[in-house]
Amino acid sequence: MDVVEEGLLDDQLPSLQRLGRLGQLGDMPTFIAELGRELLEPQPERLGIGSALAAQARDHAREREALGFAPREIVTEFLLLRRVLWRFVTARAADLGTDDVLLVERRLNDTVDRLVTECVVAYFDRATSELAHRAYHDQLTGLLHHQAFLGELEMEVERARRYGHGLALVFVDLDNFKAVNDTLGHPEGDRALQRFAAAFRGSLRVFDLAGRMGGDEFAAYLVEIDEETVPRLLDRIHDRIDELVDLGELPTGSSFSAGCATFPDEAPDVDGLFRLADSRLYEAKRARAA
């Protein structure tokens, strides 16, 4: 409890104020018990990479971050733990020799430093993973962005060429999407894009891949195809869009047009796939508007 009280004192850990008593304690009782064992009987493997205690320190950091703790607060919590335990040791210094006090201080510092390191590593692991995701994904829909999708498609075309299997590119555009933005507003337009993207991705097989090409245009590549693969996909998407309209999650009249091209039968490379799929997409849009 002393660690919590120290954290609440002078608002050193503002995020603690929002939690109940159990939430404030978190994993601190476990860390205190393990620190006590380490001070009495040091075991290098107790805090080694991949150890149970190291994993718990990382989990503690992730849980605290999920509760809104800033990285500084997570580290400060362990530094306060060191201060509280050191106060406990110094209160009993008279019963210890000078060498023993120095030994306990070194062990305490080394152990808390290791816990802090694990927390920092957990934070950077999460931040690095998030940055990597942002570098390849569209922020609104979570699909691959244009360049990332093109890169994946290039590699998939090369695999298809090497192993002699077919591949289809499906290019999709929402119908009359400008009217959604103009009449319902851009926030509702963004929600419509998110829901369509989720329906689009959810209609794919696990080994197919989708991306947002920009605006209200989306694309997917389908591998190991036959003549029914694309029609079945489009039927699934149409059915899902109709469901979302009926549920009121997409504006009334929401629909899409699509164009498709296949490798190697209809196009020899990625550029050819996009040109042909784009041409067929706009033929479909013109036919729908006629």
Q: What pLDDT digit, counting tens, does each position of 6-35 carry? A: 544 545 667 776 666 666 667 777 777 777
pLDDT at res. 212: 96
Per the DSSP assignment, residues forming a β-bridge with 217 are 173, 214
Residue 4's pLDDT band (boundaries 50, 70, 90)? very low
pTM of the model: 0.62
pLDDT at res. 23: 67
Rounded to the nearest 10°, the torsion over CA 171, 176, 177, 180 is -160
Rounded to the nearest 10°, the torsion over CA 9, 12, 17, 23 is -100
pLDDT at res. 59: 84
Backbone φ, ψ for residue 140 (5° rounding): -80, -45
Kindly tell me if the per-residue pLDDT of 83 is higher than 50. yes
CA nearest to 112, candidates 32, 3, 52:
32
pLDDT at res. 3: 43
The residue among 119 and 168 whose pLDDT is bigger is 168
Mark residue 217 as left, alpha or beta (left: phi above 0; alpha: psi -120 to 50; beta: remaining).
beta
pLDDT at res. 7: 43
- Omega before 44 within 30 of 0, i.e. cis: no
Output 3-7 pairs: Cβ under 8 A, ≥24 positions apart.
3/28, 3/32, 3/77, 3/80, 3/81, 3/84, 4/28, 6/80, 6/83, 6/84, 7/76, 7/77, 7/80
The residue among 211 and 65 whose pLDDT is bigger is 211
Distance (Å, rounded) from C-alpha 156 to C-alpha 209?
10
pLDDT 10s digits, 102-130: 777 777 777 778 778 888 888 887 777 77
pLDDT at res. 50: 67
Measured CA angle at 281 (ends 228, 250), to 5 deg = 85
pLDDT at res. 109: 77
Burial 68-87 (b: 16+ CB within 10 A, else e): ebebebbbbbbebbbebbee
Tokens, residue 119: 């927390």
Kindly tell me if the per-residue pLDDT of 283 is higher than 90. yes
The answer to whether the Cα torsion of 36, 40, 45, 48 is positive or negative is: positive
pLDDT at res. 277: 96
Contact 16, 22 (CB under 8 A): no
Report, as an integer, the average pLDDT of 264-290.
91
Report, as an integer, the average pLDDT of 204-215.
94
Mark residue 212 as left, alpha or beta (left: phi above 0; alpha: psi -120 to 50; beta: remaining).
beta
Kindly tell me if the per-residue pLDDT of 262 is higher than 90. yes
CA distance readout (Å), 227 to 149, 209, 230: 24, 18, 7
Contact 50, 121 (CB under 8 A): no
Mean pLDDT is lowest, of 41-45, 58-62, 76-80, 236-240, for 41-45
* pLDDT > 70: percent of the chain: 85
pLDDT at res. 52: 76
Backbone φ, ψ for residue 96 (5° rounding): -120, 150
Kindly tell me if the per-residue pLDDT of 209 is higher than 50. yes
Distance (Å, rounded) from C-alpha 38 to C-alpha 221?
55
Helices (H) and strands (E) in the chain, counts: 11, 4
3-state secondary structure of 105: helix
Mean pLDDT is lowest, of 77-81, 181-185, 274-278, for 77-81
Concatenated DSSP letters of 167-201 = EEEEEEEETTHHHHHHHH-HHHHHHHHHHHHHHHH
Q: What is the mean pLDDT of the chain?
A: 83
